[in-house]
Structure formats: C-alpha cells, structure tokens
Amino acid sequence: MDAFEFFFTIYSLLLGFALAELMLGYANLLRAPVRPSWGWLTPTVGMLIFLEIIVTFLDAWMKLRGVPLNLSGLLVPTLIAVSYFVAAVMAVPRSATEWKSLDDYFHDRKTWILGLLAAPFLLNTLLIELPGFLTGAFVWGTAFTEWVIANLLFITLFLVPIFTRNFWASLLPMVALIGLLFYYYGNYTLPDLSQPAAQSHAPAPAAASETPPGSPPPAPAPSNAAAATPPPQ
C-alpha cells in the first residue's frame, strides 16, 4: 500500500459517510407518514451536495496523489471531507413534521449548508490548488485568468442564495453550480496534476522503427538465407 492508498482509505471513508447520510436523510423524508411540501430548494441543494462529493473523489485523484502523510498534509483534506459530511447531515430536517415546507427549512439553514459547501471549495482553491500551481507541483490546465474567473464565479454562486429569500435568486445559482460541475467534470479523461509540466506535456519518444512523414520507406532487410555467408568448402 503506497501513501496515496493509505490516505484515500480514510478520505473515501469520510466522503462515503457523507453520501450515506445525505441519502438517509432524504429516504427518511420519503417514508415519513406525514411529509412536508418538498418545494425545489432542498432537493436542489441535495443534488448539489451529492455532485460536490463525487467531484471531490475526482479532485483527490488529480491533486492529492502526492499528499504527505503528516498532520499538515492530512488536515486540509480531512476538513474538506468533514465539511461535506456536516452539510449532508443538515441538508434535510430530522423531523418531517416540524416544517410545513422544505423551502422554509432551506432558508432557515442555508447559511450553514451553503457555507459548508463553500468552505471545501475555498480550502481546495487556496490551500491545495494555488500553492501547487505556484510551486510548479501542478500543471496549469487553463490560463491563470480563466482559473481566477472560474473560481470567483463559483464562490459568488455559493454566496448569493445566502443573502436573499427570493425563490429564483436562491434556486438559479444552485442550478448554475450544478451546470458548472457537469461542464468542468462531466466529460473528460482525468489528468494527473501531480506530474510536472515538463513530464505531462512532453511528446512521447518516437519508436526506433518509426519513419518520419514524407520519407521514403526503408529498403527491406535481406533475408537470412541471402545474407548468410556460405560455409567453407
């Protein structure tokens, strides 16, 4: 077992608990004899939490394969996983009879829920991605300006619903976040950001038998029978 496998055993366990807790909360609502009005906000934030946790697995493969096995190396990833776990716990009410509408519950708890979703994003951006890029440990996948704009957009969309009770101003930023997750993570082969730029972008060496474009094909090698020296008489 290498260092990443050891680390990922703990990390995936915490993220798995978060997913299980999220699904359990919604399942308990479904089986409650008296259910509140579902609305749109709580199901949408549940979907957002679900996708954020899955994306975190992908980020671990891309960015944490070189994580050191010490307190400073494990602290930030653990805080990220714990934040998702607490957000998953708070996504739905424990008692279905305490709220007439889940939209009301969302507005009552949204500062915690969305704050806990924004916290892992900030931890990942400021304490994992940015130092890795600045030190050359990670490869720039996009231009710096695009990276900054994308991160500012994400954090703005997390914060907007916290400061309003308007239905559309709360729903649309979360829908936009879901769309951005699919845009950035939905359809590509995972790069390994832990490899230096010189290695990850270096062209593959040409095979010894490869013919350069435009060159005539090499002459066929003489057969063994023709090339063999006749034995002395």
- Residue-level pLDDT at 35: 84
3-class DSSP state of 3: helix
Half-sphere exposure in the Cβ direction for 15 (13 Å, CA): 22
- Residue-level pLDDT at 21: 96
Contact of 132 with 140, CB cutoff 8 Å: no
Nearest to 81 by CA among 53, 118, 40: 53
How far apart, in whole angstroms, are the C-alpha atoms of residue 181 and residue 169? 19
CB-CB neighbours of 23 under 10 Å: 13
- Residue-level pLDDT at 95: 84
Contact of 63 with 125, CB cutoff 8 Å: no
- Residue-level pLDDT at 138: 67
Q: What angle do CA 10, 132, 174 make, to 5 degrees?
A: 70
- Residue-level pLDDT at 208: 42
How far apart, in whole angstroms, are the C-alpha atoms of residue 205 and residue 99? 64
Contact of 29 with 35, CB cutoff 8 Å: yes
How far apart, in whole angstroms, are the C-alpha atoms of residue 41 and residue 47? 10
Which segments of the chain are extended strands (E)? none
Locate all alpha helices (DSSP H) within 125-223, ordered by sequence.
130-135, 144-159, 167-185, 197-200
Nearest to 156 by CA among 127, 122, 189, 131: 122
Residues whose CB is less than 8 angstroms from the CB of residue 29 and which lie 6 or more positions away in sequence, other chains included: 35, 36, 92, 93, 96, 102
pLDDT tens for residues 39-96?
Answer: 999 999 999 999 999 999 988 988 888 888 899 889 999 999 999 999 999 999 988 7
- Residue-level pLDDT at 216: 45
Q: Which ranges of the chain have pLDDT less than 50?
A: 190-192, 194-219, 221, 223-233
